[in-house]
Amino acid sequence: MADLIVEVGCEELPAAHCRIAEDTLPGLLSAELERAGIPAGSVVAHVAPRRLAAIARGIPERREAQRQEVRGPRADAPEQARQGFARKHGRAAEALVERDGFVWAVSEGTAVRAADLVPGALTAAVERIQFPRTMRWPGGRFSRPIRWLVAKLDGEVVAARIAGVPAGGESRGPRPGRDAVAVGSAATYLDDLRAHGVLVDAAERRAVVLGAIDEHGAADTMGKLEEVVYLVERPRVLVGEFPAGYLDLPERIPVTAMQSHQRYFPIRSPDGTLEPRFLVVANGGDDDVVRRGNEEVLVGRLDDARFAYDRDRKVGLAAMVAELDRVSFLEGGGSLADKSTRLGPIIEALCERNGLDDDVRRAALRAAVLCKADLVSRLVGEFSALQGYAGSVYAAEAGEPEAVCAAIAEHHMPDEAGGEVPDSPAGALVALADKGDTIRVAFTAGLEPTGSRDPYGLRRAAAGLVAIALDRGWRVDLPELAGERAVGFVLDRLEPVLLDEGVTIEELRAARGSGETEPAGVAALARDLHAFAGPRRDAVRDAYGRCARIAGETQAGDVDGRLLSDPAERALAEALAAGGGSTLDTAADLAAVVERFFDEVLVMADDEAVRANRLRLVAGVRDRLRRLGDFAQLPG
Amino acid sequence: MAATFQGMISALQAFWEEQGCVIVQPYHTELGAGTSNPATLLRVLGPEPWRAAYVEPSIRPDDGRYAENPYRFQEHYQYQVILKPAPDDVQDVYLDSLRAIGIPIEQHDVRFVEDNWESPSLGAWGLGWEVWMDGMEITQFTYFQQAGGIELDPVSAEITYGLERLSMHLQRVRRAHDMRWGGGVTWAQVREAPERQFSAYNYELADTAMLARHFDDHEGEARRCLDAGLPLVAYDHVLKCSHAFNLLDSRRAIAVTDRAAYILRMRRLTQAVAAAQLEAAGGGGDG
């Protein structure tokens, strides 16, 4: 058994690409080694910005010889056929073997050393990593240019090559130096690089950063931690300071100045108040020099923020609203003023449909007028993450009621998949209307997402729409709100939410097959189907299946009571008329009646009128059950 | 050498000259960025090797702040380097250039942070990084993938230094105003008055009807030049369209519905120029 170390040395990879490689490289390499006939016992990945490394342990020394037998023509075939077969397999006709009335080309094969198989496997594995976007450089195509390659099986370099770069035994140390680092073997790899200050394993780097966060009370990592871990190879956590005067600004402004772009972590005192200090995760350099540089950068950004904030307050919210007709929303979607105007009727309809209070309606309508104003503010121009928040601050200064300010702040929520939904009903209304409008306009203009490309954030908008509808349990007319063409796209966002709750994909498909398009309605049906799993649900599924099969293309219609002669068919007609099958519980009862019906009644009666009447009855049962879900989707 | 703005520029010129670059001059009409200079945009097309470096005034009317902001101006200076094909050690060479202007980079935290670049009106995009020094963005570093709608082969490396920021950092000043330019003069003495006047013009005075007319006129002239087989001249008129557009934009005179159309008109012209120039240069066939 031998251990393999591979390190693909790159120019700085994007943080998101690092995570993709870390997640997928072990599986890819494992599969390729297995395909090559030298399966590894285990494969792990270690990833830092300039290196994708994988260690595969327990690789067999060689792929054993494999005996191969290929059957040729019949033993009594003409000599010509025999000759041809022999030539094709590269041997003399005399070397063919006769058995079972055929001739055979038999080869014993030869064993192949792992070192000769590894190069192909690792090249294939690395090339199969799926990055969302790749680039070309003179030499190849990858996430970023590949500049060196280490590939050693135990102590021996293997003759691999990726993007024209031949494998060797030397890695490189941290920037800005150009030190070569000799890699001994898989066993020494992490230590070889650690000796030069590089922590190749992300978990080690994360531990360094988390340790400092704990020590200094930096609570607001806000999702930046995982990014920062992949922006450094030798993390040094430094504490910087800034003048306390900037803490007069509304709190999220200095916090955003620290977090967005700079990826600093704000520090809070134990009582939660913001301190004029921050953590910066550096990647080397002299601590004092680096700290001072970062402090100066932050003060510059805080100056910008203050300048923007002061200018915005002078301009005022009303003047910003007046600017909105000059700002484009989406191709075919008019201006932001047009968008704001469209939100009003959507909000009215949602209120109507869900019987919401008048004060909620008023707050939402007012917020709809104001919610886009901050997009022309200087503050949002500097810090786009302050969208919504900036507007709510300026609205409060303009004397708008609290509910309106809250709705403005919340209308972007949820910011990410699984993020918090708006807290206030008015915020939820504006958020739903805004997201629905964006999706409708984009789909109308043919801007729907393709593959991994979603430049207008439509998946996030749809996920947010669904999350809010479920959270509130509101009825949402999806075809009206997001447009007919986007209904399926929006309902697709139910999948992660419901699967996470334990609902199966079949149950969700069945619920969607009901024809229901309300997100909350589909979710309720899917959850009901899930809760109802068992023999009773199976009985309904079977009853539905028989009805659907027998009824075929038949449309449901009035059943003529006078043509019902058999007690079992009368019972079924009565059960249906009494509303049987409107809920899963009564559907299970109905299933028993259906079963009796099929046992006792011959649907395909000789009398055409009787037959048609029975088919209409069966179709009626099918359609009734179908409203609960397309049971044909459930496993049998 | 980095004690002054001009000293730093001289050091960069010397460094890149040493690297075999042609030191070309700033272009003679307004550009939003050094990328638009034909020494970059038209030279990255086709197979012929090309190395050039130059200072470029970046004219962005909408970035003017009447000289009130410490580092945002309607005219700032870039140092642009274009290397075709991109050399294997281009990052290390770039780091050497920082050493050459007197930055002891071992003491600093110099990092390449993902940043991708796209210009719809140039039909151009690339992938790369912004380079941070102690948290400050000092350079844009891009592997140019497409220009004028044409896939580039070979790929060029484009390095764009933000000169004021770099110099402010070296001189340890917080406002550009206090930066020593050279000859005993500060940035403020050289640039403050023009920043004020041009900000006023860009935001308050520029004649929008005239600018809209100029856009149309230069577009027409670009087409005539293309028809006459003069793509280099046509490109100058595209650049003039682009500046007229930027001024209209800073005057908030571009209606929502027209914006995309303006950009498309510029992209179409740039694409036509790029195709014609590539053909004029031999079609990239035998290089």
Quote the radius of gyration of chain B (alpha carbons, Å). 19
Residues of chain A with Cβ-Cβ distance to B256 below 8 Å are 325-329, 334-335
In this predicted model, what pLDDT tens digit does every residue of B138-189 receive, in sequence order?
999 999 999 999 999 999 999 999 999 999 988 988 889 999 999 999 999 9
Distance between CA atoms of residues B216 and B163, nearest Å: 34
Task: Please state the rounded mean pLDDT for residues B33-41.
Answer: 96
Buried b (16+ CB within 10 A) or exposed e, B182-221: eeeebbbeebbeebeebbebbbeebeeeebbebbeebbeb
Decide if A428 contacts A471 (C-beta within 8 A): yes
Buried b (16+ CB within 10 A) or exposed e, A205-230: bbebbeebbeebbbebbeebbebbbb
Task: Report residue A98 as tokens.
Answer: 């006769």
Q: How far A437 CA lies from chain B's nearest CA (Å)?
A: 18
Most A-contacting residue of B127, B151, B175, B256 (CB-CB within 10 A), to test interface:
B256
Quote the radius of gyration of chain A (alpha carbons, Å). 34
Distance between CA atoms of residues B94 and B87, nearest Å: 11
Where chain A has pLDDT below 70, the residues are: 219-222
Amino acid, single-letter form, for residue A432: L
Taking CA atoms, what residue in B is nearest to A338?
Answer: B256
ipTM of predicted assembly, 2 dp = 0.93
Q: What is the DSSP secondary structure assignment for residue B28, as one 8-state letter? A: S
- Which residue from B109, B143, B169 is facing A135, i.e. has the nearest CB? B143
Q: How far B235 CA lies from chain A's nearest CA (Å)?
A: 27
CB neighbours of A57 closer than 8 A, spacing ≥ 6? A1, A3, A4, A40, A41, A42, A43, A186
Listed as own residue / partner, the contacts of A286-292 with beta carbons closer than 8 Å and 24 or more positions apart are A286/B106, A286/B107, A286/B108, A287/A236, A287/A238, A289/B107, A289/B108, A289/B134, A290/A236, A290/A238, A290/B107, A290/B108, A290/B109, A290/B134, A291/A238, A291/A239, A291/A240, A292/B134
Q: Please tell me the predicted confidence (pLDDT) of residue B284.
A: 45
Buried b (16+ CB within 10 A) or exposed e, A613-626: bbbbbbbbbbbbbb
| Interface contact A135-B127, CB threshold 8 A | yes
Residue A339 three-state SS: helix
Taking CA atoms, what residue in A is nearest to B83?
Answer: A138
| Interface contact B107-A138, CB threshold 8 A | no
Q: Please tell me the predicted confidence (pLDDT) of residue B68.
A: 87
Q: How far B224 CA lies from chain A's nearest CA (Å)?
A: 31
- Scan residues 79-138 of B and list those with Cβ closer than 8 Å to A: 85-86, 88, 91-92, 95, 105-114, 116, 126-127, 129, 133-136
Distance between CA atoms of residues A77 and B38, nearest Å: 74
CB neighbours of B216 closer than 8 A, spacing ≥ 6? none
Q: Please tell me the predicted confidence (pLDDT) of residue B257.
A: 65
Short-list A429, A528, A515, CA closest to A471? A429
Short-list A207, A175, A60, CA closest to B132? A175
In this predicted model, what pLDDT tens digit does every residue of B45-56 receive, in sequence order?
999 999 999 999
- Whether A285 has its CB under 8 Å from any CB of chain B: the answer is yes
| Phi, psi of B33, deg, nearest 5 | -160, 155
What's the CA angle centered on B34, arms B33 and B37, to 5 degrees?
110
- Chain position carrying tokens 């075809």: A479
Question: Could you tell me how many CB contacts below 8 A there are between chain A and chain B?
Answer: 109
Q: Please tell me the predicted confidence (pLDDT) of residue B194.
A: 98
How many helices (H) and strands (E) would you count in chain A?
25, 19
| Phi, psi of A153, deg, nearest 5 | -105, 115
Short-list A351, A396, A333, A346, CA closest to A370? A396
Amino acid, single-letter form, for residue A50: R
Amino acid, single-letter form, for residue B175: R
Q: How far A140 CA lies from chain B's nearest CA (Å)?
A: 10
| Phi, psi of A330, deg, nearest 5 | -130, 155
| Interface contact B174-A296, CB threshold 8 A | yes
CB atoms closer than 10 angstroms to residue B65: 15
Peptide bond into B85 cis (omega under 30): yes
Distance between CA atoms of residues A467 and A555, nearest Å: 36
Q: How far A12 CA lies from chain B's nearest CA (Å)?
A: 6
pTM for the model stands at 0.81
- Whether A290 has its CB under 8 Å from any CB of chain B: the answer is yes
Residue B287 pLDDT class (50, 70, 90 cuts): very low
Distance between CA atoms of residues A75 and A257, nearest Å: 84
- Chain position carrying tokens 């019949």: A74
Report CA-CA distances (Å) from A424 to A371, A467, A469, B88.
15, 14, 13, 56
- Whether A139 has its CB under 8 Å from any CB of chain B: the answer is yes
CB neighbours of A115 closer than 8 A, spacing ≥ 6? A153, A156, A158, A159
Q: How far A401 CA lies from chain B's nearest CA (Å)?
A: 31
Residues of chain A with Cβ-Cβ distance to B92 below 8 Å are 178
- Scan residues 146-165 of B and list those with Cβ closer than 8 Å to A: 153-155
Q: Please tell me the predicted confidence (pLDDT) of residue A220.
A: 63
